[in-house]
Amino acid sequence: MSVRDERTEQFLTRMGLVWKYVNDVTYLQLVPNWDGINLGRSKVKVEEAAMEYAAREEAGSMPPAPVLRETSDGFDPLDGIQRLLAKQLLSCTRFSAYIVTVESELLAKEIRIFANSALNGCHGESSQWTRRQAIQHLVIEGGMSCEEVARKGGWKLADVEDDRLYLDTDFKLRCIGAPEGLSKSLVLNIAEVMRPDDLKQAAKPIAEFCADLKRGHFTNGDAKPYVQAFFSVPRTKGKVHDHFAEALDDFRKQPDVKTRMEGRVSSRRNPDIQLRASMKSVLTTIDRLVATEEEIRYLDEFFHLANQIKSGLTKLARGPAVAKK
């Protein structure tokens, strides 16, 4: 048998649900294909988790009861699929459960997504994965606000808004033929400079540009100047597609791009691109350290390096020295 669990009861109450705890539920009372949906995990069935729950139960540590939604077709598990699979491994035919009545499909999705992370399920997913699940299903598809999802998930609003922009832009790019697997930083870089009608008016060159960035293994630092140049085309009525096609051709003529497209690692990137990528990497590291509030020792050394960088940039701004005759 499963057991009552205070955290589960607090979670259900926090979600605004009326629940009841019952014994002797059978697998025959579950909906058909009861183990076919699990929004709280990247895989519906996690063998390692089910086996660990089974081992714990055999050792006398009873798992919390699953949460079942009462429907006209039977009980539908909203949380606890791995625990139900574990009981099957132990040849159990009956179990205890929390029974809830949920009329809203959106609320049912909320429970499926948040329960595993809120209740520290065995072999749970990362916070980032859960956050993106919540944004995709609750914000983009369900219409919830980023503020509400951030509050319920315990995440920073800025992280939720960034993920929402990334997921939304990545989906739109894939819809016009752009490749899957573009990095989040690269997609966000495109989102910053792309205009709402660009995808409609110049789908083909934009999709090909994205494919080239992926094929050339461009990082965000390498790609940023090219992305900005590509999307800085004039939006002349009736000629937007042609302008983007010309920008794509100009991009492909760049020496660094041509080298990458041929499948070789560039021996020397354009100096401005190389310098920008290096400095962006430093800024990214500083932003991460500030966000995590990590203590950095010997800061005077880094200020000294910053002064050296400033001095070097000043020399670059003056141009190359002229040799005296």
Residue-wise pLDDT for 242-288, tens only, equals: 999 999 999 999 988 988 888 654 445 567 777 877 787 788 778 77
pLDDT at 292: 72
**In the predicted model, is pLDDT for residue 91 greater than 90?**
yes
Q: Quickly tell me which residue has 């002064």 as its tokens.
A: 307
**In the predicted model, is pLDDT for residue 219 greater than 70?**
yes
pLDDT at 269: 56
Rounded distance, CA 2 to CA 239, Å? 66
By the 8 A CB rule, do 101 and 71 touch? no
Indicate the SS3 state at residue 124.
coil
CB atoms within 10 A of CB 195: 10
Amino acid symbol at 77: P
**Per residue in 283-296, pLDDT tens?**
877 877 787 777 77
pLDDT-derived band at 321 (thresholds 50, 70, 90) equals low
pLDDT at 76: 97
More confident call, 291 vs 64 = 64
Q: What is the CA radius of gyration of the chain?
A: 27
By the 8 A CB rule, do 19 and 12 touch? yes
pLDDT at 282: 81
By the 8 A CB rule, do 111 and 103 touch? no
Long-range contacts of 31-35 (CB under 8 A, 24+ apart): 31/71, 31/73, 31/74, 31/75, 31/76, 32/73, 32/74, 34/74, 34/75, 34/76, 34/77, 34/81, 34/84, 35/77, 35/81, 35/84, 35/85
Size of the chain, expressed as the number of residues it contains: 325
pLDDT-derived band at 320 (thresholds 50, 70, 90) equals low
Indicate the SS3 state at residue 26.
strand
pLDDT at 267: 46
**Domains, the chain:** 6-153 (3.90.1530.10), 179-261 (no CATH)
Amino acid symbol at 244: F
Q: Which helix (H) or strand (E) holds 97?
A: strand 94-100
Indicate the SS3 state at residue 14.
helix
The rounded percent of the chain whose pLDDT value lies above 90 is 69
pLDDT at 1: 61
By the 8 A CB rule, do 99 and 20 touch? yes
Range of lowest pLDDT (120-124, 198-202, 267-271): 267-271
pLDDT at 265: 47
* Mean pLDDT calculated for residue range 51-79: 94
Taking alpha carbons only, the member of 247, 269, 272, 244 closest to residue 257 is 269
**Per residue in 166-197, pLDDT tens?**
999 999 999 999 999 999 999 999 999 999 99
